[in-house]
Amino acid sequence: MLESTTKTVLTDCRRIVVKVGSSLVTNQGAGLDLGALGNWARQIAQLNGSGYEVVLVSSGAIAEGMQRLGWSTRPSAIHELQAAAAVGQMGLVQAYESCFRKHGLHAAQVLLTHADLADRERYLNARATLTTLLSLRVIPIINENDTVVTDEIKFGDNDTLGALVTNLIDADALVILTDQCGLYTADPRRDPDATLVSTACAGDVQLESMAGGAGSSIGRGGMLTKILAAKRAAHSGAHTVIASGHEPDVLLRLFQGVAIGTLLTAPALPIASRKQWLAGHLQVTGRLVLDDGAIKALRNEGKSLLPIGVKHVFGEFQRGAVVACVSEQGADIARGLVNYSNDEAQRIAGHASHEITTLLGYGGDSEIIHRDNLVLL
């Protein structure tokens, strides 16, 4: 575990993504807590006035829609979730706009799906829109577009969405506010000896074993999603704080250098913007299973992926698609833009590059994925 202080890391941050969970913006699922929304608006407005650029990723639309529709439990059917989101989004945006207007600020609603960020052109358009809003001192309020989302394109939780937005706009920090004090060495609700992890390195494999499952019937993210979000945010060099949203003035104090919750520092230099986009693909149309030699060549030697290192090919994809590279045990190794379709990849898998012309009947790239089009996870 790295030793650091909040002061030496967060006080130098200027572009921030703040994610607030359902439990912090609703009255235990009974509609929106207007006082809580006003509190977040006040703190963000103060940060904005001090020169910070803040993007807010807020849950609460489905919970607000459930309350308006008189539903006591979160539905499982996708069309009912979409209906609740459509109803609740009206109240959520109206409430935030009113709260920020009191501080002389405008808010902007931005709804995203994975498809928006998987498509390179739409990704760049979203990036340009958000950076323009920030330059105008407008507060973007971001949520997943639940009204059109399907199982194939949903982010799954707003922690992941917050991390993807952090990468999208090259934010310096991601703050995930929850109803827990931070990450503990074990579930504090079950283990009285659990202790708070004050500082660690994002991506440390020990963290995932500490994290538990989802803890709320209203929200859908647990501590594990927050740990994985921090790992993803670190791709762009962003640090992550997981802290309790019930702490008084938590946002203001964090960026004054007060140590609150768990700080997960980015362990390495940020990767290039295009490779951040590759790493951000949550759903892919194909998987390449690599042998140990190929994994070593990618991780330790910075090599391209050659056909001889591919053991199995799964899925249907065309040349130029983003595919996952995994180990034989199923662990994620990399994402990359593939040079061959799934049919071609199956035919050349396990063979040397000089055999490609013979196997396919025509020449092609010697690599299945060139190292310039590949990002390690």
The CATH number for 293's domain is 2.30.130.10
In the chain, the number of structural domains is 2
**Higher-confidence residue: 275 or 99?**
99
Do 253 and 317 lie in one domain? The reply is no
**Higher-confidence residue: 89 or 148?**
89
| Domain hosting residue 294, numbered range | 284-376
Do 218 and 363 lie in one domain? The reply is no
Do 110 and 128 lie in one domain? The reply is yes
pLDDT (tens digit per residue) in 343-361: 999 999 999 999 999 999 8
The verdict on residue 326 lying in a domain is yes
The verdict on residue 1 lying in a domain is no
- In percent, how much of the chain has pLDDT > 90? 54
* Of 84-98, 141-155, 203-217, the least confident: 203-217
- Calculate mean pLDDT across residues 261-290: 81
Exposed (0-12), middle (13-18) or buried (19+): which is 269, by Cβ within 10 Å? exposed
The verdict on residue 345 lying in a domain is yes
Q: Which of 217, 243, 275 is the last residue of a domain?
A: 275
* pLDDT bracket for residue 218 (50, 70, 90): very low
The verdict on residue 165 lying in a domain is yes
Residue recorded with tokens 């407005």? 45
**Whole-angstrom distance, CA of residue 346 vs CA of residue 120:** 26
The pLDDT of residue 95: 94
Q: Which of 236, 254, 275 is the last residue of a domain?
A: 275
The pLDDT of residue 269: 66
The pLDDT of residue 150: 65
pLDDT (tens digit per residue) in 284-321: 889 999 999 999 999 999 899 999 999 999 999 988 88
Do 167 and 250 lie in one domain? The reply is yes
- Calculate mean pLDDT across residues 363-376: 88
Q: Do the Cβ atoms of 339 and 367 come closer than 8 Å? A: yes
Do 251 and 294 lie in one domain? The reply is no
Q: Which of 145-154, 191-200, 215-224, 276-285 has the highest mean pLDDT?
A: 191-200
pLDDT (tens digit per residue) in 51-61: 999 999 998 88
**Whole-angstrom distance, CA of residue 176 vs CA of residue 64:** 20
Do 218 and 236 lie in one domain? The reply is yes
Do 301 and 242 lie in one domain? The reply is no
The pLDDT of residue 6: 53
The distance of Cα 234 from the centroid of its chain, to the nearest Å, equals 10
CATH number for 225: 3.40.1160.10
pLDDT (tens digit per residue) in 232-245: 898 888 999 999 99
Do 79 and 216 lie in one domain? The reply is yes
* pLDDT bracket for residue 137 (50, 70, 90): very high
Which pair of tokens denotes residue 151? 């199982």
Do 321 and 259 lie in one domain? The reply is no
The verdict on residue 237 lying in a domain is yes
- Calculate mean pLDDT across residues 251-280: 83
Do 40 and 171 lie in one domain? The reply is yes
Q: Which of 226, 250, 275 is the last residue of a domain?
A: 275
Do 209 and 347 lie in one domain? The reply is no
* Of 3-7, 254-258, 325-329, the least confident: 3-7
